[in-house]
Amino acid sequence: MIILMLFIFILFIIIAYFKGKRNLLSPWFLLCSMFLITYSIVLFNYKNWEVRINEKFVLYISTALIAFGIGTLLINKTQVCKSNNRCTSIWNYNDLEFQFKYPVNILMFASLAFAFGYVYKLFSDVSGAGSLTEMLRKIYDNRINEQYTPGFIFNQMSEIVRAIAYLNTYKLFLRFYSKTDKTSFIKIFIPILVLLITALISTDRNIFLRYGIYFVCLWMFFYYNHCKSKNVNGRIIIGIIVIGVIIFILFYIMGKMKLYGSSFSRALSIYGGSGLYNFNLWLETFDEPLKYGQSTFTQFLDSVGVLLKFIGVDLHGSVEKVDAYIKFTSSNGYVYSSNIYSALKPYVEDFGYFGVIFFPFIMGVCYQFLFLKAKKSKCGFSWIAYSLLIYPIIFFPILEQLFRRFHFGFVYEVGWLTILYLFVFVRNKYKICRNKRVTLGGTQKC
């Protein structure tokens, strides 16, 4: 079964690569690639974990990949995707007429101010905890064990800091590829650094990983648009490996800052591979009543439940927000304890085998639609949106990050970035168009 599963992953990657027209950003290819990478980490720990792959695991994983692929192929057939040489985004970064002054100073000072307020609140709530690392550990324990939150206002500060960093990353690439833009690289980069610092202090390393995924994906869009080399995919893969190593080293350092004791290889194995293998172990013993949505939509139900409590309705379910742990001990004495992470676990808990058909299919449809829309554009918000929302596919073998994140925090994250983009780019685009119409006597169409 071990070799069969490996063969299936490789086969699906080859099919997805060509069905995605050799584009490494196509969602089906990304999903298959992440499963292979995660499974490779499992195989790397073959002896320590005494790896055994069961038949149900092979069936469920294969079904999910097929369902996702069918969703993408369905959109390919139904979505009219005409070639378009005109930039369909809000503005073309190579057109002088769309060069305007980016509010880099306003965004930089806003990021610093909101980050200061958010960080001050976090530290003030754990004052007296000891050293910096002990304070970070206390923040982490409060967040995980006691569901700590600094409050609505301070959470919005964090979301705005994140949105500014995302927008500045887009501007960073525009600045790099533009021949006329003179915006300061340092001022663009400061809000990005501020985001990394707030992610460290909040002890939520997923914020850092999501930003890393966003950065890589956005870079790939720009690189595809500019690199004319025949071996563009080879160069992108080399770049991804280099950036990926840097991201994981920083991720590991952030773990050490909150007193994690694992070595580098153990941390990579547990975070990157144990979740998928734990799902394999969990399937062997799973025989519980189906929850019919409580596991998949637990965050959404919690968010709606907050509103419904005002009219006396309680939607609180029995599903924990943090998945249960599996404690594994091999015959050679190797021990690890980690969550039963996998995007497929809540689908199976809620709807059994049907869950690994329906939810991956819906994701394939949605992400392929976003991908084709982004692919048709040469710049603009469609690139930002796809790069921002792709992380559930990257995380898929490790944990569920789409349906379980249907809550107000997700709305705020997307909402603030959309508002900033409209304010910075769309507003200036229409201002430029209006001025141009006046100059040309009202004959210019925008």
The reported pLDDT for the residue numbered 330 is: 75
Pick 165 or 90 by higher pLDDT: 165
Q: Nearest to residue 340, comparing CAs of 278, 393, 383?
A: 278
Closest listed residue to residue 143, CA positions, set 339, 322, 400: 322
How many domains does the chain contain in total?
Answer: 1
For residue 301, give its domain range.
80-439
Does residue 179 fall inside a structural domain?
yes
Q: What is the pLDDT of residue 400?
A: 84
Question: pTM here?
Answer: 0.86
Cα dist. 432→101, 105, 168, 293, 297 in Å?
12, 21, 21, 49, 44
Tell me, yes or no, whether 334 lies in a domain: yes
Asked, for residue 35, whether it belongs to a domain, the answer is no
Is residue 65 a part of any domain in this protein? no
Task: Characterise 441 by phi-psi region: left (phi > 0), alpha (psi -120 to 50), beta (else).
Answer: left
Residue type, 141: D
In a domain, 187, yes or no: yes
How confident is the model over 111-146, as pLDDT tens digits? Answer: 999 999 999 998 888 877 677 777 888 887 777 777
* CB within 8 Å of 160: residues ≥ 6 apart: 110, 111, 114, 416
315 located within any domain: yes
Give yes or no for a contact between 168 and 191, defined as CB atoms under 8 angstroms apart.
yes
Q: How far is CA 283 from the centre of its chain?
A: 26
- Tokens at 41, concatenated: 């980490």
Bigger pLDDT: 271 or 420? 420
Place 28 in a pLDDT band, splitting at 50, 70 and 90.
very high
φ, ψ at 144 (rounded to 5°): -85, -50
pLDDT at 10 over 70: yes
Instruction: Determine the distance from the C-alpha atom of residue 379 to the mean position of all C-alpha atoms in its chain, rounded to a whole number.
Output: 20
The two tokens of residue 169 are 């990353």
Contact 25, 371 (CB under 8 A): yes
The answer as to whether 296 is a domain residue is: yes
Residue 129 lies in a domain: yes
Residues of the chain above pLDDT 90, percent = 41
> Closest Cα partner for 365 from 402, 400, 414?
402
- 92-106, 117-131, 416-430: the lowest-pLDDT one: 92-106
